Amino acid sequence: MTSKNSSKDKAVGVVGMGSFGTAIANILSEKSKVIAFVRRAEVMDEINQNHTVDGVSINPEIIATQDPEMIAGACNTIFFMVPSTAFQEVIRQFSPFLYPYHLLIHGTKGLCLNLPTGKTLSDTGKISRENILTMSEVIMKETVVVRIGCLAGPNLAKELYQGQPAATVVASKYNEVILEGQRLLRTDKFQVYGNSDIVGVELSGVLKNIIAIAAGALAGLGLGENAKGLLISRGMVEMIYLGNALGGSLKSFIGLAGIGDLVTTCNSTLSRNYTVGYRLAKGETLDNIMNTMEEVAEGVNTVKLMKTFVEGKGTRAPITENLYKVLFEDLKIEEALQYLMKYPFSVDVDFL
C-alpha cells in the first residue's frame, strides 16, 4: 500500500500522554518528530510551554495538540496509548481523518465489550467471543485502516522513561507494520521483536494483568517465592487456555509479550495491577483502591469480562473465577487461596 508521503520524513503521532504514552513518545523522539494528542488543554500547554507532563521532563522536540485532524494529516504512523475504557471514543474522534495509508499501533492492554446498543454485561449475563474486542479489532471496526499493529511486552513505563534496558514486541499481520515499528522504536536500550499473531500478543498483555493482581495479593499476604512460582506457572496455563479460546496462538504466550511480561508484572510494585492485589490483601476495599489510584489498572475489568466469558463457554478458569469472587463478591483472599490449593490440577504441562 502506498503512503501519501514517505513515512521516513514524517512526524509520528502519539495519542494519550499518560505513563506509557509519555515513555513511548520519549523513545520515538530520539529518531522522529513526535506530535502528541492530549485530552486536556492544560496538558497541551504544559507540554508545549514547559516540556513536561505532570512535572516530569520530556524531550522538548515533542509537541502537543488537541486536534485529531492535525495529527492524522501530519503523521502516517500513529501510536494509540489510551486505556481500553477510552479507546473506542478516541478512535471515533480520529476515524473521520484516517485513510488506508495510515498505520496504527496501539499499546493498550485491555479489552472492549461489544454488545448491542443499550445492553450491559448484567443484561446479557453470558458473553461469547463476538462480544469481546481486542483493540486491533476496535480499530478495524471503527476505521478504514488495515495496517494495524500492537505493542506489548515487559514495559513498565517508569523503567522505560528512566532509559533502563528493555524489549518489546510489535505484532501485526503486516510485515511492513513490524518493520516500521522496529525502525521507529529500536534504540540501543530498546530492542523490538516482531510477531505476526497480533491477537495472541494483544491477549498476552491483557491476560497477564489477571495473574498480576493475584501475585500482588500473594505478596500482600506475606507469602513467599514458592507460592509466586506456583501462581506464575499455573497462571501461564490459564492464560494459554483463555488465549486459545479467544483466538491467540500458544507461541505468543510463551514469548516476550506473554511469559516475559507476566514475570515482570508479577514482581513489580511499579505495576498498577500488582498494586491492586497487594492493597486488597492489606484489607482495602476495591472501591477505595480504584478511587485513589491515579492510573488505570486494566486487569480489574478483564477479570469481569473473562469470568463472564468462561461461564458462557462452559469451561473453567480457576484463578480468574476466584479472583472475580474476591474483587466483586465477598470472598476473602485466604479462602480463594485455600480453594485453589484444593483444586484438582493434576497434569503439569498439558498445552504442548
Ligand X SMILES: NC(=O)c1ccc[n+]([C@@H]2O[C@H](COP(=O)([O-])OP(=O)(O)OC[C@H]3O[C@@H](n4cnc5c(N)ncnc54)[C@H](O)[C@@H]3O)[C@@H](O)[C@H]2O)c1
The residues binding ligand G3P (CB under 6 A) are 109, 154-156, 209, 212, 261, 264-265, 271-274, 298
Q: Report the DSSP beta bridge partners of residue 147.
A: 103
Q: State the minimum distance, in angstroms, from the CB of residue 308 to ligand G3P.
A: 21
Beta pairing, strands 112-113 & 132-133: antiparallel
| Partner whose binding site includes residue 154, from ligand G3P, ligand X, none (CB under 5 to 8 Å by kind) | ligand G3P
Residue 289 to residue 270: CA distance in whole angstroms:
15
| Partner whose binding site includes residue 89, from ligand G3P, ligand X, none (CB under 5 to 8 Å by kind) | ligand X
For ligand G3P, the closer CB: 133 or 212: 212
Stretch of residues binding ligand X (CB under 6 A), selected from 83-91, 97-105, 119-127, 251-259: 83-91
Residue 194 annotated as binding site:
no
Q: Decide if residue 208 touches ligand X (CB under 6 A).
A: no
Establish whether 313 is a catalytic residue.
no
Phi, psi of 285 (to 5 degrees): -80, 160
Q: Decide if residue 86 touches ligand X (CB under 6 A).
A: yes
| Catalytic residue chosen out of the listed positions 158, 173, 189, 208 | 208
Q: Decide if residue 89 touches ligand X (CB under 6 A).
A: yes
Residue 86 to residue 277: CA distance in whole angstroms:
23
DSSP string, 102-113: -EEEE-----EE
Q: State the minimum distance, in angstroms, from the CB of residue 258 to ligand G3P.
A: 11
Long-range contacts of 269-273 (CB under 8 A, 24+ apart): 270/156, 270/157, 270/158, 270/159, 271/156, 271/212, 271/216, 272/296, 272/297, 273/209, 273/212, 273/213, 273/216, 273/297, 273/298, 273/299, 273/300
Q: Decide if residue 298 touches ligand X (CB under 6 A).
A: yes
Q: State the minimum distance, in angstroms, from the CB of residue 47 to ligand X.
A: 11
Residue 140 to residue 239: CA distance in whole angstroms:
24
Short-list 77, 274, 247, 268, CA closest to 179: 77
Give how many residues touch ligand X by CB under 6 A: 24
For ligand X, the closer CB: 78 or 337: 78
Residue 331 to residue 321: CA distance in whole angstroms:
11
| Partner whose binding site includes residue 273, from ligand X, ligand G3P, none (CB under 5 to 8 Å by kind) | ligand G3P
Residue 261 annotated as binding site:
yes
Residue choice 13, 68, 83, 260 for contact with ligand X (CB under 6 A): 83
What are the angstrom distances between the C-alpha of 196 and each of 150, 170, 184? 10, 9, 18
C-alpha cell at 10: 514524517
Stretch of residues binding ligand X (CB under 6 A), selected from 75-83, 113-121, 215-223, 230-238: 75-83
Residue 351 to residue 107: CA distance in whole angstroms:
27
| Partner whose binding site includes residue 18, from ligand X, ligand G3P, none (CB under 5 to 8 Å by kind) | ligand X
Can you say how many angstroms the Cα of residue 149 is from the centroid of all Cα atoms in its chain?
13
Structural element, H or E, at residue 132: strand 132-133
Q: Decide if residue 28 touches ligand X (CB under 6 A).
A: no
| Partner whose binding site includes residue 86, from ligand G3P, ligand X, none (CB under 5 to 8 Å by kind) | ligand X
* String of contacts with ligand X for each residue 240-279, x by CB under 6 A: ----------------------------------------
What are the angstrom distances between the C-alpha of 83 and each of 198, 219, 222, 331? 18, 26, 31, 28
What residue numbers does the annotated binding site for substrate cover? 109, 272-273
Which residues of the shown chain bind ligand X in the complex (CB under 6 A)?
A: 16-21, 39, 81-84, 86, 89-90, 107-110, 155-157, 295-296, 298
Residues classed as catalytic: 208
What residue numbers does the annotated binding site for sn-glycerol 3-phosphate cover? 109, 153, 208, 261, 271-273
